[in-house]
Amino acid sequence: DGGITQSPKYLFRKEGQNVTLSCEQNLNHDAMYWYRQDPGQGLRLIYYSQIVNDFQKGDIAEGYSVSREKKESFPLTVTSAQKNPTAFYLCASERGAGELFFGEGSRLTVL
């Protein structure tokens, strides 16, 4: 059963801690994306990767980092430099011709 899996679904973090959100896909898609969703703000692009070992900053990359060592995996690290990290994070892969297929999301809360 092909899909895109994000974990954990819920995560709590103390201020000053780095956290890593996992995103794994078995769809054989080349391109993968990370979006942040805040109430009333839509989805904003954090980072994207169109191919293994390559990635580009999106509109709100400050305080975040990513890696793309394998085609299937695109983890996102929320660093302590991110001023307001509490949000819903969505990972997506490109199904083809621009269409994005999203994971179920990870909700990060900073205590």
Binding footprint of another protein on the chain (CB under 8 A): 30-31, 33, 35, 40-45, 48, 50, 56, 58-59, 90, 94, 97-105
- Report the C-alpha gap between 25 and 3 in whole angstroms: 6
CB of 95 to another protein, least distance (A): 8
**Pick 13 or 44: Cβ nearer another protein:** 44
CB of 82 to another protein, least distance (A): 19
CB 71 within 8 A of CB 18: no
CB 81 within 8 A of CB 14: no
CB of 16 to another protein, least distance (A): 29
**Pick 82 or 93: Cβ nearer another protein:** 93
CB of 26 to another protein, least distance (A): 16
CB 74 within 8 A of CB 64: no
Write down the residue that tokens 């660093």 correspond to: 79
User: Which of 4, 16, 20, 2 lies closest to 65 in space, CA to CA?
Assistant: 20
**Pick 58 or 75: Cβ nearer another protein:** 58
Q: Which amino acid is at 111?
A: L
**Pick 78 or 92: Cβ nearer another protein:** 92
